[in-house]
Amino acid sequence: MADVLTAITLGTLFLIALSGSHSLNSLLFFAIMSFISYRIVAIPGFKRSLLILKTIIYYPKALFESVSLILKTRRKRIIESVSVYDEWEELTETLIITMTPKSLVIDSEEGYMTVHKVV
């Protein structure tokens, strides 16, 4: 039960941050979508608690990068390759990288991900 409530809460907060909408209808829609997403991903052996912990840890970084992107005038683009060991690590890294506004996974192949960053 705690997993469900945590997933709904974090999913709703994440969707609020992405959309910027705080209306009651939006909150209800976000909570329903978070629950549906949780049910889809509710695979036995899936390391949800670790993913939730990493999401909480990287949330302040995502907010900081959002503000710095708005305030910074000179930007440089970097494309780099990130190695991953298994599908779980690939999923975790893709979610964390995509959550932060300065970076985006643009390609994922066996063992490597290509990441586009703005610094």
Question: CB atoms < 10 A from the CB of 106, how many?
Answer: 10
Structure confidence at residue 48 (pLDDT): 67
Structure confidence at residue 99 (pLDDT): 77
Q: Which residue has the tokens 């705080």?
A: 22
Q: Which pLDDT tens digit goes with each residue over 97-108?
A: 877 777 877 787
Rounded Cα distance, 97 and 54, in Å = 11
Q: Which helix (H) or strand (E) holds 53?
A: helix 48-71
Question: CB atoms < 10 A from the CB of 113, how many?
Answer: 19
Q: Which pLDDT tens digit goes with each residue over 39-60?
A: 877 766 666 677 777 878 888 8
Q: Where are the strands (E) in 7-111, listed by range?
A: 77-83, 103-109
Structure confidence at residue 72 (pLDDT): 75
* Token pair belonging to 100: 């932060």
Instruction: Give the residues across from 49 on adjacent strands.
Output: none
Regions in the chain scoring below 50 on pLDDT: none
